Amino acid sequence: GRAQASALYQSAYYLGSSAGGTLGAVAFHAGGWAATVALGLLAVLGVVSITLYGTRVARAERRALIPATR
C-alpha cells in the first residue's frame, strides 16, 4: 500500500543521491569541472530520453484503446 510506496520512493531518492554524489566526485577527480558538467548533461539527456519514450508508449496505448472513428 502507501507505506511500501513511500518506503520505495525514499530508498530510491537516497540511493540515487548517493550514487549521483559518488559519480560526480569520480568525474571531478578524473576530469575536473568539464567531466562533471558532461556527467550532468548525460544525466539530463537520459531523463529526457526516458520521458519521451514513456510519452510515446502511453500515447500508443491510448490510441490502441480508442476505437477508430474513420
d(C-alpha 58, C-alpha 61), whole Å: 5
pLDDT of residue 70: 62
Which tens digits make up the pLDDT trace of 13-58? 999 999 999 999 999 999 999 999 999 999 999 999 999 999 999 8
Amino acid code (one letter) for 44: V
Run of H or E including 39: helix 2-65
d(C-alpha 44, C-alpha 65), whole Å: 32
Tracing cell 562533471 back to the chain, one arrives at 36
pLDDT of residue 44: 97
Amino acid code (one letter) for 33: W
Domain boundaries, the chain: 1-70
pLDDT of residue 65: 85
